[in-house]
Amino acid sequence: MENSFVIQELVKQIDRLGKEVIWPAAIEADEEEKFDRKLFSQLGEIGLLGMVGAEEYGGSNLNYSDYVSVLERLAYYSLPYAVTASVSIMVQKMIEDAGSEAQKKQYLEKLISGEMIGSFALSESHSGSDAAALKTTAKKVSGGFELQGSKMWITSGGLSGVYVVMARTGEKEISAFLVPDGAPGFTLGKKEKKMGWKLSPTRELIFQNCFVSETQLLGKVGEGFKLALSALNKGRVTIGAVAVGLSQMALDLSLAFSKERKQFNTLLNQFQGIQFMLADMATETYAARALVMQAAQALGNPQSSLSQKNASALTALCSMAKLKATDVGMQVTTDAVQIHGGVGYTSEYHVERLMRDAKALQIVEGTNQIQRMVIARNL
Ligand code: CAA
């Protein structure tokens, strides 16, 4: 009961920010690639960034199903802010689950309050889908490790205060490091010019003799790849939730448009061809939401038979949620542009941006082909 009140209040706050701040600025922010840092801090102030965070660091310790329902609402107004939040929260949870007390003290409060953003750095230019083939190395030196190499397509690169960097500590051994912004030998590479998600910067990270103190090793030496894959289970469910929010907005815009636009002297919503499209968009969005919610419930409940007894069934379910919801996101936003016709192809009506934003969701946190591979392996 208490939780549902907290969730309702959070959704109210997101609706307020969405209607007053995010949506009116969405077209310009996309065109000018303008990330509003103050707005992101407000997401911390209202409690969104700490929803699943530990109470002793300012979090609310709610479960994943509550979290995804609020994240979906943020994505309804802005996919890029929702993705920034979801990746930063993924980093926060990695530190909470695997970090030392000192690391938790150093980072969690800041990530939960929104004072700091976190990035997840696994991919490299030659290892996207085959993540284990990464080449960045971390050599043991006195007092810590020295990182050499580079990371690609890093969400929030340049905005973040901490980067979880997966690097090779041995031929068959990958470890995770918390690399603070400004670490010696750490520089930012080029900012990518992207099709969508324009206000969220995606950058290369470069490590040249980058010294990281041994206090910044996350978990144990050699645990990095498993930590990353286990974090991705959660990340994939949240990406699914983000896709559902995006689909819902595309559907709502299309419904509203079909009630106003006339052709052949008839409102669009009176044509069965349009009605069938809207019916499919709504059905698929509902189905995606249900699957995301089921995965979130399995993640968020330690008593769940799925998460306790069968880790591989949980991994498959998380991948299914990501696969289904992001494929639906692509289809629904494409149909939204089609329903809008010519104006749908212009920026003024928003749906072209939603369609561009949707495409990235089929690629990030493991392409949808990788999700199918993970599902098949775990069947
Ligand atoms: N949780 C914990 N451990 C796991 C796991 C999981 N979900 N999945 C696998 N593991 C373990 C395995 O049990 C295995 O352990 P052992 O060595 O002890 O047997 C180990 O991890 C390696 O697993 P695999 O043998 O399955 O590894 P693989 O190399 O064959 O394939 C893969 C793994 C699934 C293809 C993986 O590389 C993958 O997911 N690739 C996609 C990469 C990806 O998702 N990138 C996302 C980039 S981040 C991003 O996009 C975020 C952003 O900023 C938007």
* Average pLDDT over all residues of the chain: 96
Which of 120, 124, 168, 229 to probe ligand 1 with, by most ligand atoms within 8 A of CB?
A: 229
Terminal-residue alpha carbon distance, the chain: 36
How is 7-73 classified by DSSP, letter by letter? Answer: HHHHHHHHHHHIIIIIGGGHHHHHHHT---HHHHHHHHHTTSTTTTS-GGGT-----HHHHHHHHHH
Is the pLDDT at 300 greater than 90? The verdict is no
Residue intervals in the chain for CATH 1.10.540.10: 2-116
Calculate how far, in angstroms, residue 295's C-alpha sits from the geometric centre of ligand 1: 18
Give the pLDDT score at 37.
98
**1 — pLDDT class (breaks 50, 70, 90):** very low
Q: What is the mean pLDDT of residues 312-338?
A: 97
Give the pLDDT score at 304.
59
**Distance between CA 287 and CA 285 in Å, rounded?**
5
Q: Whose CA is nearest to atom 2 of ligand 1?
A: 230
Which of 226, 307, 378 to probe ligand 1 with, by most ligand atoms within 8 A of CB?
A: 226
Q: Whose CA is nearest to atom 13 of ligand 1?
A: 226
Is the pLDDT at 175 greater than 50? The verdict is yes
Superfamily of domain 2-116: Acyl-CoA dehydrogenase/oxidase, N-terminal domain (1.10.540.10)
The pLDDT tens digits of the residues spanning 329-341 come to: 999 999 999 999 9
Q: What is the mean pLDDT of residues 179-191?
A: 97
Task: Answer whether 230 contacts ligand 1 (Cβ < 6 A).
Answer: yes
**Distance between CA 162 and CA 157 in Å, rounded?**
10
**Distance between CA 157 and CA 176 in Å, rounded?**
17
Task: Answer whether 18 contacts ligand 1 (Cβ < 6 A).
Answer: no
Task: Answer whether 226 contacts ligand 1 (Cβ < 6 A).
Answer: yes
**309 — pLDDT class (breaks 50, 70, 90):** low
Catalytic entry in 96, 124, 284, 365: 365
Is the pLDDT at 14 greater than 50? The verdict is yes
Residue intervals in the chain for CATH 1.20.140.10: 225-378
Task: Answer whether 366 contacts ligand 1 (Cβ < 6 A).
Answer: yes
**310 — pLDDT class (breaks 50, 70, 90):** confident
Q: Whose CA is nearest to atom 20 of ligand 1?
A: 226
Q: Whose CA is nearest to atom 14 of ligand 1?
A: 226
Structure tokens at 369: 């082909």
**Distance between CA 218 and CA 102 in Å, rounded?**
11
Collapsed DSSP state (helix, strand, coil) of residue 203: strand
**308 — pLDDT class (breaks 50, 70, 90):** low
Q: Is position 284 annotated as part of the catalytic site?
A: no
Give the pLDDT score at 15.
98
Task: Answer whether 370 contacts ligand 1 (Cβ < 6 A).
Answer: yes
Alpha helices in 46-160 (DSSP H): 64-77, 79-98, 101-113
Give the pLDDT score at 318.
97
Give the pLDDT score at 41.
98
Task: Answer whether 122 contacts ligand 1 (Cβ < 6 A).
Answer: yes
Task: Answer whether 92 contacts ligand 1 (Cβ < 6 A).
Answer: no
Is the pLDDT at 343 greater than 50? The verdict is yes
**302 — pLDDT class (breaks 50, 70, 90):** low
**3 — pLDDT class (breaks 50, 70, 90):** confident
Q: What is the mean pLDDT of residues 333-362?
A: 98
Q: With pLDDT > 70 as the criterion, what percentage of the chain qualifies?
A: 97
Calculate how far, in angstroms, residue 90's C-alpha sits from the geometric centre of ligand 1: 15
Superfamily of domain 119-218: Butyryl-CoA Dehydrogenase, subunit A, domain 2 (2.40.110.10)
Calculate how far, in angstroms, residue 229's C-alpha sits from the geometric centre of ligand 1: 4
- Which ligand 1 atom is nearest residue 132's CA? 29
Q: Whose CA is nearest to atom 16 of ligand 1?
A: 226
Q: What is the mean pLDDT of residues 131-139?
A: 98
Superfamily of domain 225-378: Butyryl-CoA Dehydrogenase, subunit A, domain 3 (1.20.140.10)
Give the pLDDT score at 4.
86
Instruction: Assess contact for 89 and 156: CB atoms under 8 A.
Output: no
Give the pLDDT score at 273.
98
Give the pLDDT score at 303.
57
Residue intervals in the chain for CATH 2.40.110.10: 119-218
Q: Whose CA is nearest to atom 29 of ligand 1?
A: 132
Is the pLDDT at 248 greater than 80? The verdict is yes
Buried b / exposed e over 123-148, threshold 16 CB at 10 Å, is bbeebbeebeebebebeeeeebbbbb
